[in-house]
Amino acid sequence: MATSKVYFTNLRTMPGRSLTEKMVILAKKAGIENIDFQDKFTAIKIHFGEPGNLAYLRPNFAARMADLLRSLGAKPFLTDSNTLYSGRRSNGVDHYESAMENGYNPISARCPVFIADGIKGTDYREIEIDGEYCKAPKIGTAIADADIIISMSHFKGHEQAGFGGALKNLGMGCASVGGKLELHSASKPAIDEESCKGCGMCAKNCAHQAISMVNRKAVIDYDKCVGCGQCIAVCQFDAATTGDYDTSEHLNCKIAEYTKAVLKDKPHFHLCFIMNVSPECDCWNHNDAAIIPDLGIAASFDPVALDCACADLVNSAPMIDFSENEAGVKFGNMLREKSHDHKCYCDHDHDKKSDKFHIMHPDTDWRAGVIHGEKIGIGNQDYELIIV
């Protein structure tokens, strides 16, 4: 497979050239105008952000992208799908209100906003790909019905995938609620009793009543657990872990296969914003301090190469040191120590001890997703970085 091209621009601006204008220049240099948008329904897949989280992308970027696409003849709309875990984006009504609260509304974003899988997450299409892990991914109807896919991703860490970039925004973010269940269901958490402090936060935040407190220790009922991972996210003591039921690697492979379904037979283009690189996903109602300085925006027709390039840029960047009094001290100490070992899914030659995402989330291996993505033909790990 030929080397893919990834285009990158930094965040320096000047009078007459704002960040949104630089994004447009980047997209054009990367070739977005080569897509035939005329009268095509064009989904702009973006993460609307859980209310309380401030790391998600500013809606100004989406609005400027909508303007560009409309100028090229497209019928653009913004979209995201409902979540499996509890929160303010788990159904279409609350999700739409959350999107508007965070600035993603038809006025500020200058295009319609749709929740891809409907009110209850049951509005989806099964797209057959006969994958190794997923035979027919369940994709939100608004995305499945789109003629063209444009993804705009906030690049950041993720507690189960390692990081969230283009593949996760597409594969996980476009899945219906039932699709997310398929993605997570074999990856169920476990409780480390020695680390469990009996605070009950996991039980309070479990949307499926799968966790109870027994003798001040969390206990998981696996007949009810769907593997959504919310307990892992809310546990402050690292007591909720991914366990032995499945691996982060399988989750990343499934995400790659769902991405294949999303992009099947459709023109597509992708941007990643390496800004406010928070340790965890924008799905939570808070965001910790960024782990590196803001770097820039990257774009490509190849989501695999784009994720690889963004990960390399983050891993090459200097770490922001954390104050001992700030909430980010846990990740700061981990990044400074650089001493976490974990059996890697692949034999790919990389230094896990200098991989910031692996250090923050040692039970993850993001490379499993890009390796599988290349294997199933949705992209290429080898890339040429072109500075715009």
Q: What is the pLDDT of residues 287-305, one digit of tens each?
A: 999 999 999 999 999 999 9
Amino acid at 337: E
pLDDT-derived band at 269, boundaries 50, 70, 90? very high
How far, in Å, are 151, 205, 274 from residue 188 at the CA level?
28, 15, 30
Q: Averaged over 169-177, what is the pLDDT?
A: 95
**Both 304 and 235 in a single domain?**
no
Rounded to the nearest 5 degrees, what angle is found at the Cα of 241, between the Cα atoms of 240 and 244? 135
Please give the pLDDT value at position 267: 98
Distance CA 299, CA 24 (A): 10
Q: What does pLDDT average to over the chain?
A: 90
Q: Helix (H) and strand (E) counts for the chain?
A: 13, 16
| 3-state SS, residue 178 | helix
Under DSSP, the state recorded for 92 is H
**pLDDT at position 345, please?**
40
User: The domain that contains 220 carries what CATH number?
Assistant: 3.30.70.20
Q: Are residues 65 and 96 in the same domain?
A: yes
Residue 272 β-bridge partners: 153, 298
Give 190's pLDDT tier (boundaries 50, 70, 90).
confident
Tens of pLDDT, residue by residue over 297-327, are: 999 999 999 999 999 999 999 998 764 444 4
Q: What is the pLDDT of residue 208?
A: 86
Task: Find the range with the poorest average confidence among 69-78, 337-346, 357-366.
Answer: 337-346
pLDDT of residue 139: 97
Which contiguous run of DSSP H or E holds residue 84? none
Q: Is the confidence at residue 40, as pLDDT, over 70?
A: yes
The answer on 177 and 58 residing in a single domain is: yes
Structurally, how many domains does the chain consist of? 2
Look at residue 120 in the predicted model and tell me its pLDDT.
86
pLDDT category, 2, cuts 50, 70, 90? confident
**Whether residues 24 and 115 fall in one domain:** yes
Query: What is the structure's pLDDT at 33?
Result: 98
Query: Of the given ranges (25-34, 237-246, 250-259, 319-328), which has the lowest mean pLDDT?
Result: 319-328
Lookup: tokens for 45? 């897949």
pLDDT at 330: 59
Q: Based on the domain organization, do 119 and 207 belong to the same domain?
A: no
Among 241, 266, 281, which residue terminates a domain? 241
Same domain, 43 and 11: yes
Of 88-102, 173-187, 354-368, the range with the lowest mean pLDDT is 173-187
**Claim to verify: residue 282 and residue 208 sit in the same structural domain:** no
- Predicted confidence at residue 340, as pLDDT, reads 41
Asked whether residue 284 falls in the same domain as residue 155, the answer is yes
CB burial of residue 66 (10 Å; 0-12, 13-18, 19+): buried
Range of the domain at 350: 4-185+247-387
Residue 192: Cβ-neighbour burial (10 angstroms; 0-12, 13-18, 19+): middle
Would you state the pLDDT for residue 350?
52
Residues 283, 87 contacting (CB under 8 angstroms): yes
Which backbone phi and psi does 114 adopt, to 5 degrees? Answer: -125, 140
Q: What is the pLDDT of residue 248?
A: 86
Q: 198, 223, 241 — which closes off a domain?
A: 241
Domain termination site, one of 215, 241, 267? 241
Residue 217, token pair as written in the block: 């220790």
Both tokens of 195, joined, read 């680390």
Q: What DSSP string describes 250-298?
A: HHHHHHHHHHHHHHTTS-EEEEEEE-S--SS-TTSS--PPPSS---EEE
Q: What is the distance between the alpha carbons of residues 231 and 242, in angstroms, rounded to a whole number?
A: 10
Residues 29 and 88 in one domain: yes
Average pLDDT over residues 183-212: 88
Answer yes or no: do 44 and 170 share one domain. Answer: yes
Contact 340/353 with Cβ under 8 angstroms?
yes
| CA angle (170, 174, 179) in 5-degree steps | 120
Question: Residue 219 to residues 205, 230, 363: CA-CA distances in angstroms?
Answer: 14, 15, 21
Lowest mean pLDDT among 72-86, 148-162, 280-294, 333-347: 333-347
Structure tokens at 48: 């609307």
Q: Are residues 39 and 148 in the same domain?
A: yes
Instruction: Examine the domain organization and report whether 206 and 92 are in the same domain.
Output: no
